[in-house]
Structure 1
Amino acid sequence: MEVIVVERRQDAAALVADAYTALLTRTPTAVLGLATGSTPLPVYDELVRRHDAGDLSFARARAFLLDEYVGLPADHPERYRAVIERDFTGRVDLDPAAVVGPDGLAQDLDAAGRDYDEAIRAAGGIDLQILGIGSDGHLAFNMPMSSLASRTRLKTLTPRTREDNARFFDGDLDRVPTHCLTQGLGTIMESRHAVMLGFGRAKAQAIRECVEGAVSARWPASILQLHPHATVVVDVEAASQLGFTDYYRTTYAGKPAWQGI
């Protein structure tokens, strides 16, 4: 696991966008793993800027989403497929048919999870998976005590998660779905490069536990310690409880530029 500490969250955007640029330059048909939420937005904005400048194309790439609500109509604006289109994929030349999410409207949700994992495998696996981390250490919708070997499956949203997401449903908690389909931790671990972002003091404990603590279902993102190519990018506030910050800064500063992240 490589840990990179930046001064501000905005500084992470160019850094992570460089990884996308390098990947798509050498492999235009790369498979991207995309996350929704506010954390990756600066990265997506930077990728859109590079695309608009003519420096980056997604025309031959494919993408898979981390999760999807269960039961929201296909045309609902808060369906994650619609959210990622607004935030990123609809702003670049990525073919809409090449963007796939879990089927939250499937009659057999258990089978839908298995089918989604198979679709990822059939595409050749995810080359670069972008991730955010929750303040309780959750990854995608793998909440604390989720199986570290879990696959894409149905999960019940916690009351806190539904309360946090009510703002996207006009503050009406009753309109927030109670279930989702989410990639499991085992699914995420099969990506070739996992990039996890964490910003702000509210994420500091989770970053400490998941980066420097024991690998544990209590802190689901800690599983990334076992990933063969995991990069954690945090700002100074999120890094404020880490014990090896000087080491992370020194090793990153001495890293050859050709290695990237």
Structure 2
Amino acid sequence: MAARTHPTARQRRLGAELRKLREKAGMTATAAGALLGGNQARISNIETGRVPISADRVRTLACNYDCADEALIDALAAMTGGRTRHWWEEYRGILPPGMLDLAELEHHAVELRTAQTSSLPGLLQTVDHARVVFQQGVPALPPPEIEHRVSLRIKRQAVLYRQDPVPYTAIIHEAALRMQFGGAAITKAQLKHLLEMSERDNVTVAVIPFTAGAHPGSGQTVLYARGPVPQLDTVQLDQSHGPTLLDTEAQLAKYRTVLDRLRALALSPKASQNFLHAIAREL
């Protein structure tokens, strides 16, 4: 198979998980390569996501690595993806790869939790709000790229509407709700949209009011994507240079705790809806 020039985050993660299994088994890359009729270089390229691997070969490696976790093996086999081309690939080469990795992460997650202090979750933004957000980019983005970014953001929201919608919890600080991106009219429409989304069975909106005081992770945007097995959970952090993905157990445990503490500080879903209504009435 031809080598990939730019493997996706999901492809790199598959390779990284296979490397973990090999190292846990105490097997060298050379010995692992021989299992597939190749050499050390082939395994190295698989483990960096540069060379594709089939589901059958994932199972072959897992068997020889003495991995008895069938749920993990099935999840890794599913990550090979075959020749499936997903909708976000149409943006490849047009938008930064990190934005496409986020769409891919959300698409495959079995549950999503996010906490945001100074901005609203992308999956809950209106078109007008999203456009204003991207217009604030530094350096300024050209209009066509702004529209591509808006389009990608809105299409990502399909995970909340599809036949098997992902369970989604959004913990939003009052500061983000009161920022008038684009003025009062756009803000009011955005708050109305948040209220409508909060009525969906799979969506929970929880507001942290100013009166809640100090809290962990102030100013940081956190997304926790639960995978089909705990070993494949992922945390995404927004950084000025783009999204950062974390997946070590220590990092995952840290952000599960952060999100749990933030959820405990937030209002109940019903009280959050009332809070949103009150802010909208002030506009």
* TM-score, normalised via structure 2 length: 0.28
Q: More relative contact order in 1 or in 2 (CA 8 Å, sep 6+)?
A: 1
Who wins on radius of gyration, i.e. which is larger?
Answer: 2
